[in-house]
Amino acid sequence: MSGRTTDNAPDSGPDGAPDGGPDGASGNGQGNGPGGGPGPTGVAGAAKALPRRRRRTHRVPVTLLLPALLGLAFLILPLVGLLVRAPWSGLSEQLTSTAVWDALRLSLICATAATAVSLVLGVPLAWLLARTELPGRRVIRALVTLPLVLPPVVGGVALLLVLGRRGIVGSWLDSAFGITLPFTTTGVVIAEAFVAMPFLVISVEGALRAADPRYEEAAATLGASRLTAFRRVTLPLIAPGIAAGAVLAWARALGEFGATITFAGNFPGRTQTMPLAVYLAMESDPEAAIALSLVLLVVSVAVLVGLRDRWMSTP
């Protein structure tokens, strides 16, 4: 992986700034083509390279094969367990209950809204990072990426401190406009967007860096302002990267738990999303929890299938 990143270092941008330190994640994503996610792309690439090598040597050392098979089992068995223990007979009943539908509906709406917020704010942010000589750009990129590695609960606490009723911005919103964000559906969207947006920004920035900036120059010589060039040339060119980033962000938002429960609470119908419902159901009604988990599993597989061309086809 590190070799891969180094190989791609020359593409890291016209500014000539070597991608290092906090940029590592984005450098990696970009190296694997426009819009590749930060981690999964590299993993998929490595997994694809393996069979080729095996064919050449014909023999796999046991010291590698054994842990590899163990790792495979470790990743797959829990999913198998979920399928085996699923209450298949009562599944339709479980899934048609209003509680499940409320949670699912809320999850889908909030994840979609959070993705929309991420798109509206994240694409321009990615452009700023990729195409301008912003002072302190590296620091800004590090800050943007922080929610990727930050425990979501900490994110939720931080959001409360800023947007909570007594928070720095929240108290002003409350007194000036009477707007309360925490423990509302809007709060769920905010918590999810906070956690999901970095995925989109990283993905789109990678796509922007991989896209030839000279197309924008060509547009400029044809009389296009920077905004027109972005809208009519850059945006269509990086559309696949934006789509991949949006799907990643959406999937992340859908599974968001920590920040949501901390900032928005767990009110059925208002802020109780699927993951929260699963967690709660485990205490009272494990069968319902399994059914809900299955739904999320199906959604995840659907996302994977949708992204298959982007992730699996990268060499």
Partner 1 sequence: MSTATASDAVPAPEAAPALDARLRVDRAAFTLDLALTAAPGEVIALLGPNGAGKSTALRALAGLLPLTGGHLRLDGRLLEDPGQRVHTPAEERPVGVVFQDYLLFPHLSALDNVAFGPRCQGRPKRAARAEAAAWLERMGLADHASARPGGLSGGQAQRVALARALAVRPRLLLLDEPLAALDARTRLDVRAQLRRHLAEFEAVAVLVTHDPLDAMVLADRLVVIEDGREVQSGGPAEVARRPRTDYIARLVGLNLYQGTAEGHQVTLASGTVLATTEELTGPAFVAFPPSAVTLHRERPQSSARNVWEVEVTGLDLHGDQVRADLAGDLPMAADLTPATVAELGLAPGSAVWASVKAAQTHAYPA
**Side chain identity at 171, as an amino acid letter?**
S
Count Cβ atoms within 10 A of the Cβ of residue 58 and give its class: 0-12 exposed, 13-18 middle, 19 or more buried.
Answer: exposed
Residue with Cβ nearer partner 1 (54 or 214): 214
Selected from 6, 98, 225, 313, the binder of partner 1 by CB under 8 A is 225
Torsional class of 165: left (φ above 0), alpha (ψ -120 to 50), beta (otherwise): alpha
DSSP string, 243-260: HHHHHHHHHHHHH--HHH
For position 6 contacting partner 1 by CB under 8 A, the verdict is: no
Least gap, CB of 212 to partner 1 (angstroms): 8
Q: Which is nearer to partner 1, 214 or 308 (CB)?
A: 214
d(CA 239, CA 249) in angstroms, rounded, equals 15
Is residue 237 within the footprint of partner 1 (CB under 8 A)? yes
Q: Is 236 in the site for partner 1 (CB under 8 A)?
A: yes
Q: Least separation, in Å, of the C-beta of 261 and partner 1?
A: 43
Q: Does 218 bind partner 1 (CB under 8 A)?
A: yes
Do residues 298 and 17 touch, judged by C-beta distance below 8 A?
no
Structure-token pair, residue 233: 């040339």
Binding of partner 1 at residue 221 (CB under 8 A)? yes
Give me the 163-202 binding string for partner 1, x by CB under 8 A, dash otherwise. ----------------------------------------
Number of residues that bind partner 1 (CB under 8 A): 17
* Residue pair 174/183 in contact by the 8 Å Cβ criterion: no
Nearer to partner 1, 72 or 218 (CB): 218
Q: Is 219 in the site for partner 1 (CB under 8 A)?
A: yes
Dihedral sign for Cα atoms in the order 188, 190, 192, 195: negative
Residues that bind partner 1 (CB under 8 A): 212, 214-215, 217-225, 228, 232-233, 236-237
